Amino acid sequence: MSIKDKVIIVTGAASGIGQATAELFATQDATLILVDRDQVKLQKLVLKLKRPTNKVTSYYLDVSHSNEVSQMVQACHAEFERIDVLIHAAGICKPAPLLDMSDEQWHETLSINLNGAFFLTREVGKVMSAQKSGTMILMTSDRGLYGSADYAHYAASKGGMIALVKSLALYLGKYKVTVNGLNPGMTDTPLARGANPDKWDAKLALDVLGQATSPEEAAQTLLYLSGSASLYTTGQIIGTRLRYGQ
């Protein structure tokens, strides 16, 4: 599971699973490129994680802007000469009943979640295919498989990401690049709690384990998927739960 000396991009690094992943990976002597649109939190995290045995740098950007993503990936490749792992955890999840959803709510979610995933994997894919190695892991969701009454835009974006994972795995396999998705199940993050403030306890009761995954536990799975132990795992959506209520 070693990621020592690997060059790793982590998006959504300023909170939740992205932050927990950055904190765990920083203990593994990896080179980290942390990406988020919350500049203040990102700067604090970089200061916290820097140590003599690793290198941590950051980029403040919005993943829904393709030009910003392209410039970031090009700059990383120019500085480090390779990109070994992409952990894409950036995303939004805001409740909106389907028939009351505005055009703006739909477009914002698809733009950040799905377009952002495409922009990142396209640009990182160019680097990894040229170096003939690499690993991408996208944070997907069970809602992308089962849908959602109050989060149709989120479910659609994650469903698209699941299809993107499989398509990327098929396309990039010949370059020895692996691509997988992680459905972490109910995870105790600010994003998840903020989206379900009045339903949190009820959802916990429906969970097959009766508890939420912690961001730190999700990060351990991402560590496994980033290392040589999963060398031949690609095109897979790694789930941690049965569907709610089953």
Q: Where in the sequence numbering do the catalytic residues fall?
A: 154
Alpha-helical runs (H) found in the chain: 16-26, 39-49, 66-80, 103-109, 116-131, 143-146, 152-172, 190-195, 200-206, 215-226
Are 214 and 187 in contact by the 8 Å Cβ rule? The answer is yes
Amino acid letter for position 166 = K
Query: In angstroms, rounded to a whole number, what is the distance separating the alpha carbons of residues 12 and 45?
Result: 12
The dihedral through the CA atoms of 161, 208, 222, 57 has a sign that is positive
The per-residue b/e assignment along 38-58, b for 16 or more CB within 10 angstroms, e otherwise, is eeeebeebbeebeeeebbbeb
Query: Rounded to the nearest 5°, which phi and psi values hold at 242?
Result: -75, 165
Q: Which of 53, 40, 41, 46 is nearest to 23 (CA)?
A: 46
Query: In angstroms, rounded to a whole number, what is the distance separating the alpha carbons of residues 118 and 4?
Result: 27
Amino acid letter for position 197 = P
Whose tokens are 């995303």? That residue is 91
Query: In angstroms, rounded to a whole number, what is the distance separating the alpha carbons of residues 26 and 234?
Result: 25
